[in-house]
Amino acid sequence: MKTILDYRSYLDEKKVTSEELFNESISKAHMYQEKYNSFVTILDEYNHKESDSLINGIPYSLKDNFSTKGILTTASSNILKDYVPVYSATAYKKLQDAGGILVGKTVLDELAMGGTSTTGATGSVKNPWDQNRLIGGSSGGSCAAVALGIVPFALGSDTGDSIRKPASFGGVVGFKPTYGRISRYGLFAFASSLDHVGCFTRCVKDAAIVTDILKGHDERDMTSLPDENINYTDMLDNDIKGKKLFYIKEITDPELYKDAGAITLEVLDKFKEAIEKCKKIGFIVEEVSIDEKLLKAIYPAYMTISCAEATSNNSNLTGIPFGPRGEGNNINEIMFDARTKGFSEFIKRRFILGSYILLKENQERLFKNAQRLRHMIVDKINSLFDIYDGMILPAGGGIAPTFDEEIDRLSDRYLILENHLAIGNFGGYPSITIPSGFVKDMPIAINITGPQFKDGEVLNIANKIEEELGYKGLIKEEYDV
């Protein structure tokens, strides 16, 4: 599987032109579309702005919740099925200015709410490693586009694990930097205090390259951070002397998951193997214990906060300023009709939950309590980051589920092992998922999360581990299309 630097070398040595790379990507996008459904929109017109950037002339894809001027942007929702923005997201503009060539807009869970990539208006995204399995979500289309070899990198958004979990199921790298490191201007808001812009790539170095291009303060996003003039790509020197990592006993102890099934136990065994390899190359890795009650609070706190913020953020989706106009004799009837037809049942349930949580009589008991839990979780992790340079955990407790698999959302496995990645969003921490092996011929991954603002250090740690594990640039040898 080719990396950004591979393509850079081919272009610089005149072995290929940027238009030829674009045409190859477009050909693959169309070839795989019917089977895997990565894209909402495929852009067949070559459009390139020259630059001296490392990604100049290299194709990429963009999750369809980034505003792109003049290009259909639906967020995979029927309520926006005809929406063509009049402005562009900052992240998209930066990629344009850097010479990246957009191949298409990718499928997501509707309005980015979900973890399966099955709720988008244009259908489910299928996993390139097994089309009977999910790719995960909500950034599933972007992940699949990279996993299929259509593009070497793609942008996504991550509110709870929406880049990092699909990356684990798709055998690619998924990175979300510190909250505010990349401007969210033009990204359709899901939960503003949790949303991050990030990327899917074929290796850790590519994630550093893309982040270097995208990072920096944006006057149109008051939460965006200053650039600091740090080049993350240059920080990948693999010097990890004295670096200390921790993992959490209550998330990784096989004794707690005896009833979870053979796959989960094998994933945990392989995680312990990865830990031993980390120790072998010089990391200090230690087990810590956290109150299980606090860990079990991650998922309900996340759902409470995200549903409340989503209800507020999407209140403008009425079918009046944009989107398909509803029918009715007055404003209320028009809005009711537009939302009834425009939102899936899944989204309606989220909005109902959010509205209930935000009722004046419920805010103290539900919304503010969830915020207190978030604060407690972040305080605990911050106290550990005072001692350690990073947290290392399995990205999840299994392989990509099949489409017909029943997932018990009340099990310990689901509440803790499958949802701990939301810690990275609670604290706004830089967090990266990298492939770490296979179980049942499906990729699995580990996740490294570090303190706020330590993006370069997290990328360097991940780069060293990637080098040792040896699963850089995974791709199936052949696709049956």
Kindly report the CA angle at 198 between 192 and 199, in degrees rounded to 5? 155
Tally of CB atoms within 10 A around 314: 23
Rounded to whole angstroms, the Cα distance separating 218 from 186 reads 11
DSSP code, position 185: T
**Are 346 and 362 spatial neighbours (Cβ–Cβ below 8 Å)?**
no
Active site residue: 18, 76, 138, 142, which one? 138
Tally of CB atoms within 10 A around 71: 18
282: left (phi over 0), alpha (psi -120 to 50) or beta: left
Rounded to whole angstroms, the Cα distance separating 411 from 415 reads 6
Tell me the sheet residues that pair with 392.
448
Active site residue 35: no
**Are 238 and 83 spatial neighbours (Cβ–Cβ below 8 Å)?**
no
* CA nearest to 420, candidates 189, 161, 171: 161
Active site residue 28: no
* CA nearest to 377, candidates 432, 283, 449, 275: 449
Tell me the sheet residues that pair with 127.
130
360: left (phi over 0), alpha (psi -120 to 50) or beta: alpha
Question: Token digits for 316?
Answer: 């403008």
Tally of CB atoms within 10 A around 439: 17
Active site residue 63: yes
DSSP code, position 53: S
To which residue do tokens 């994933």 refer? Answer: 267
Active site residue: 25, 139, 162, 183, which one? 162
Active site residue: 25, 28, 53, 63, which one? 63
**Are 197 and 187 spatial neighbours (Cβ–Cβ below 8 Å)?**
yes
Identity of the residue numbered 68: T
Rounded to whole angstroms, the Cα distance separating 240 from 264 reads 30
Catalytically annotated residues: 63, 138, 162
